[in-house]
Amino acid sequence: MNNYKRSILIKASLILVLVLLMFSSGYEIYKLKGSSSSNQSRVGFQGMMPNSSGQNKNFNGGMSQGQSNNSQKQMSNGNSSSMPNGKSSSSSTQSTKAPSNWNGNKQRTPNFGGNQSGNRMPSNMRRGGNSQSNSYSVEVIIYSIIFIVSAISLFVMVIRNQIKDFEVSTKFLVPVLVLIALFLRLFIAVLLPEYSSDLNLFKSWAVSAANDLTKVYSSARNADYPPLYMYVLAIIGKIGGTSVFSSYFNLFLKLPSIFADILTSLIIYKLANKRLSRAMSIILAAFYLFNPAVLVNSSVWGQVDSFFTLLLVLAVFMLSEGKVGIASVFFTAAVLMKPQGIIFFPILLFELVRLKSVKEFVKAAFISLCTAVLIALPFVITNGFTWIFKLYSSTVGEYPYASVNGFNFFSLIGKNYVKDTGTILGISYHNLGMAAIVLITILAFVIYLKGNSKELAPAVAMLEISGVFTFASSMHERYLFPAAALSILAYIYLKDKRILTLIIGFNITIFSNTYYVLMQGIGRSNSTGYTPVLAVTSALNILLFVYCVKILVNISRNRGGVKVD
């Protein structure tokens, strides 16, 4: 009877939370209706930006003072919606056609988010400096502390067999937790919309892509993402650009990442449920669903790292299951989603080398090529064959700094936002970073072959992103984000309790870095400065990488010579 009563109490509590979140999120979304001058229209950095001479310069989302005043007047009249036909009554969503980004005779024009060199301004410098960001700081910190303490406690209890099962059926518990996580995301996505003026840039791309998808790179403001996500933005632009849904444009921009979070957690649950206990599978899925590092990135910031991470999760999952062909599709899609996808592509090659099969190699190469052609061909036809190469080369060289607010080795030694031409022992920071990438890839390759198992794919992917983020140059605060999910997959496949420490550790540093840059008003300058948070987080990332190497070397030695498929 006691078990029955506890089950009823748990169900009632979860349903109550779900109902409250449904009504709260519904009410917040309802308030957006017909209100284009809501907070969601005010996503623009309005602060001081250093110019090339080191003096401060007024910067208002790429607008002149006159444009800013006009925009404010237009918004006060309730006319700030942006339409797919390119017409806009607010300069915040204006899609003014700029000269081609890829014409060799023209410089990239800093129409929006540009800096003095014409490059797109780093995300932390495009942040809105609203006082509202600080008003929720205490709540976010309290939630994060409770979350981490609860996660550690649950992990320890499951490992010690103190929790063997939950007293609620999975058919009830999993769907309810997913719905709670979904409505929680919708609630905070609308309640805290103005932290990310990156949404303004995505909005510009979405409007241009909706007008003419294949010409987005010449018509949108500094469009520098690879082509895959432009398809998603085109759909959002078509829907959000209508008069009916214009009030919800910013929410629509966040939805792909929100749904990606949900799908990633479901993959984690399904995979863990096959390999681990029922209790641990639910805990791991819930860990990702309610993770503050994930919530801040997707639901508050409105960034696309969750969508990118979903592709990587699918890629390593398929590779670990022996489905090389399908894995090739997702690895290639990740590269065509964000340039950072190149960091993970060698893992596919590791498995092909391990298999020693010419047939598998040819199949993977053919599928990868077809996937790339399918995604990029419409843009190549419009922009020329060399366009894709210019896009990647331009993006890679866009931030020539030792660190771009990524709390890593370079930040630890005081080189955050220092030009990567600086040197250590006569070697430039850029070259040191490139050497680190090569060495980390070689190390990952040796571990993978020594371990002789495709189940090492998630762990090696975790090692790659941890090492590259920690020791490569030009790292942004968000680039470690995939480790949040990859560390969980690594634990599911390898079942090594030490990886639970990495799960907790990486999520702490991911949150700390993202939260500090996003929510503490760092948008008013191009650097966080050298602070205790930066130093501690950077040092912790280095320690986590070293510990990750130690764990995987140990695992690969134990599995060496034993083919585990």
Residue 435: band (very low, low, confident or very high) from pLDDT cuts 50, 70, 90: very high
Q: Give residue 125's pLDDT.
A: 46
DSSP-assigned letters across all residues of 454-510: GGGHHHHHHHHHHHHHHHSSSEETTTTTTHHHHHHHHHHHH--THHHHHHHHHHHHH
Q: Which residue is it, tokens 């001081």? A: 48
> What local confidence, expressed as pLDDT, does residue 50 receive?
32
Q: How is residue 245 written in tokens?
A: 């849904």
Task: Report the distance separating Cα 456 and Cα 552, nearest Å.
Answer: 9
Query: Which candidate, 107, 87, 89, places its Cα nearest to that of 98?
Result: 107
Task: From 395, 260, 235, select the one nearest 330 (Cα to Cα).
Answer: 260
Residues 6+ apart with CB under 8 A from 81: 36, 88, 89, 90, 93, 243, 246, 247, 249
User: Does 533 reside within a domain?
Assistant: yes
- Asked if the structure places residue 348 within a domain, the reply is yes
* pLDDT band (50, 70, 90) for residue 61: very low
For 286-317, the pLDDT digits (tens) are: 999 999 999 999 998 899 999 999 999 999 99
Percent of the chain with pLDDT over 90: 63
The confidence band for 133, taking pLDDT boundaries of 50, 70 and 90, is very low
pLDDT band, very low/low/confident/very high, at 36 (cuts 50, 70, 90) = low
Distance CA 35, CA 33 (A): 5
Segments in 290-399 forming alpha helices (H)? 292-295, 305-320, 324-335, 345-355, 358-383, 387-396
Could you tell me how far CA 402 lies from the centroid of its own chain? Answer: 21
Domain count, the chain: 1
Distance between start and end Cα atoms, the chain: 45
224-268, pLDDT tens digit by residue? 899 999 999 999 999 998 888 988 999 999 999 999 999 999 999
Using CA atoms, how far apart are residues 468 and 482, in angstroms rounded to an integer? Answer: 12
The pLDDT, as a whole number, for residue 222 is 81
In this predicted structure, what is the pLDDT of residue 283?
96
Q: For residue 475, is pLDDT > 90?
A: yes
Other Cβ atoms within 10 Å of 52 Cβ, number? 9
Looking at residues 392-402, what average pLDDT do you find?
84
Which helix (H) or strand (E) segment is 25 a member of? helix 2-30
Domain contains 482: yes
- pLDDT for the residue numbered 194: 56
Between residues 48 and 444, the one the model is more confident about? 444
Lowest mean pLDDT among 37-41, 217-221, 453-457: 37-41
- The answer to whether residue 213 scores a pLDDT higher than 70 is yes
Burial string for 242-256 (b: 16+ CB within 10 Å, else e) reads eeebbbbbbbbbbbb
Q: What pLDDT, on the 0 to 100 scale, is given for residue 51? A: 35
With 60 as the cut, is the pLDDT of residue 282 above it? yes
* Whether the predicted pLDDT of 98 surpasses 50: no
Q: What's the chain's average pLDDT? A: 82
- pLDDT at residue number 556: 94
Whether the pLDDT of residue 196 is over 70: the answer is no
Tokens describing residue 437: 């990438």
Range of the domain at 380: 302-565
CB 324, CB 364: distance < 8 Å: yes
The mean pLDDT value for 424-432 works out to 95
Q: How confident is the model at residue 67 (pLDDT cuts 50, 70, 90)?
A: very low
Q: Examine residue 191 and state whether it is found in any structural domain, yes or no.
A: no
Could you give the CA distance from residue 387 to residue 326 in angstroms, rounded to a whole number?
Answer: 27
In this prediction, residue 384 carries a pLDDT of: 87
| Rounded Cα gap, residues 59 and 49, in angstroms | 6
Whether residue 504 is predicted with pLDDT greater than 90 in this model: the reply is yes
In this predicted structure, the answer to whether residue 106 has a pLDDT above a threshold of 90 is no
**pLDDT the model gives residue 565:** 52
Residue 193 pLDDT level (bands cut at 50, 70, 90): low
Of residues 240 and 87, more confidence is placed in 240
Q: Residue 540 domain-assigned? A: yes
Q: Residue 54 above 70 pLDDT?
A: no
Is 222 within the bounds of a domain? no
Q: Quick one: average pLDDT of 206-231?
A: 91
Average pLDDT over residues 441-468: 97
Q: How far is CA 495 from CA 276, 277, 487, in A?
A: 8, 11, 11
532 lies in some domain: yes
Report residue 135's pLDDT band, with 50, 70 and 90 as the boundaries: low
Position 13 scores a pLDDT of 94
CA separation for the pair 378, 381 (Å, rounded): 5
Most distant CA pair in the chain, distance: 79
pLDDT higher at 520 or 232? 232
Q: Is 322 left (phi over 0), alpha (psi -120 to 50) or beta?
A: left
Cα 224 off chain centre by: 16
Q: What is the predicted pLDDT for the residue at 218?
A: 86
- Whether the pLDDT of residue 97 is over 90: the answer is no
354 within some domain? yes
Strand 403-404 to 56-60 pairing: unpaired
3-class secondary-structure state, position 80:
coil
Per the rule left: phi > 0, alpha: psi between -120 and 50, beta: everything else, 424 is: beta
Confidence category of residue 112, pLDDT binned at 50, 70, 90? very low
How confident is the model over 364-387, as a mean pLDDT? 93
Q: How confident is the model at residue 192 (pLDDT cuts 50, 70, 90)?
A: confident
